[in-house]
Amino acid sequence: MNLLFAIDDNVTQQLMTTLYSIKQNSTIDKYSVYVIQDKRLQETDRIKQFCQKLGMHYHPVIIKDDQFDQAPTTDRYPKTIYYRLLAYKYLPKNIKKILYLDVDILVINDLKPLYNLDLKDYWYAAASHVSLDVTDNLNKLRLGNYETESYYNSGVMLMDLEAIRKNVKAQDIFDYINKKGRTLFLPDQDILNGLYGQNIMMIPDEIYNYDARMNPLYFAKSNGKWDIDWVIDHTVILHFCGRDKPWKLDYKERYSGLYKHYQHKAESI
């Protein structure tokens, strides 16, 4: 299984917590962990040793400063927004697919079914959270993409790198930012949806991108079926979206104890 992350020095422990949860709950034997970074992470040696203890292979992907000299960048649009979108440029050419994950997630059941998903003619697979709100049509209007089925969260993405290499072009992304810049609230996620939303296969968020903030809405949507027991049995990825994060001392929401358990186990390795 090829895993992709994009982090800085502030979240290295969160990366290790996520990796630990993957190893504990997935039935894959071999893992290659690719981590996109501006410069060599300060805790590189610790991450490498941690991965070795888990039986994973760590591959730092360091982006040189001059890679995005031609890209539009501002305080709102730093060069890091391009990392996920153009990751294929910096990954080994022989990799056919990879699973991108944010580091504010826990994997609590087997990732293998998601990784082995047949993407057919789609370039990506991702989940949408818009079924939990009413912004779907507004996003289509804002981003100018009426062909897309929904608005997708970019925190969990299965990527067909062969298709992406053929079709995703840096200049298209730069042009889109120049055209839509002021309307982009979440720049890389908005770009993904605005340019490529029609090329994304929808996967169920309650399974593969459960927004941990939205417990009451999931419960109501399922008429009471998706309670905490159901989540523990069926949900694969818990995603701690938003500003409140479970590694913070004042985080008291549901699943905070579960996260802290995995964090403690990861720290003890």
Listed in sequence order, the DSSP H helices in 101-255 are 112-115, 136-143, 161-167, 170-180, 187-196, 205-208, 215-221, 228-234
Question: CA-CA distance, 269 to 266, in Å (whole number)?
Answer: 6
The answer to whether residue 62 scores a pLDDT higher than 60 is yes
Task: Read off the pLDDT of residues 9-38 as tens digits, 9 standing for 90 and up.
Answer: 999 999 999 999 999 999 999 999 999 998
| pLDDT reported for residue 146 | 44
What is the pTM assigned to this prediction? Answer: 0.91
Query: What number of H helices and E strands is found in the chain?
Result: 12, 10
- CATH code of 2-267, in short, is 3.90.550.10
Could you read off the pLDDT of 240-251 as tens digits, one per residue? Answer: 998 899 999 989
Helices (H), the chain: 12-25, 44-54, 82-85, 112-115, 136-143, 161-167, 170-180, 187-196, 205-208, 215-221, 228-234, 256-267
Phi/psi at 257 (5° precision):
-65, -40
- Give the dihedral of Cα atoms 237, 202, 5, 236; nearest 10 deg: 10
Instruction: State yes or no: pLDDT of 170 exceeds 80.
Output: yes
Measured CA to CA, the distance from residue 156 to residue 174 in angstroms comes to 23
Domain edges within the chain = 2-267
Token duo for residue 4 = 């992709």
H/E segment holding residue 210: strand 210-211
Q: What is the pLDDT of residue 107?
A: 98
pLDDT at res. 84:
85
HSE-CB for 128 with a 13 A CA cutoff: 21
Evaluate if residue 207 carries a pLDDT over 70.
yes
Surface-to-core class of residue 32, CB atoms within 10 Å of its CB (0-12 exposed, 13-18 middle, 19+ buried): middle
CA proximity to 129, closest of 28, 206, 242, 224:
206
Of residues 22, 57, 72, 91, the one with CA closest to residue 173 = 72
pLDDT band for position 117 (50/70/90)?
very high
Paired residues of 3 in beta bridges = 33, 99
- Are the beta carbons of 156 and 209 closer than 8 angstroms? yes
pLDDT at site 50: 98
Distance CA 115, CA 133 (A): 28
Structure confidence by residue, pLDDT tens digits, 140-158: 445 454 455 578 999 999 9
Please give the mean pLDDT across all residues of the chain. Answer: 89
DSSP three-state, residue 111: coil
Radius of gyration of the chain (CA): 18
Average pLDDT for residues 171-177, to the nearest whole number? 87
Query: Higher pLDDT residue, 111 or 150?
Result: 111
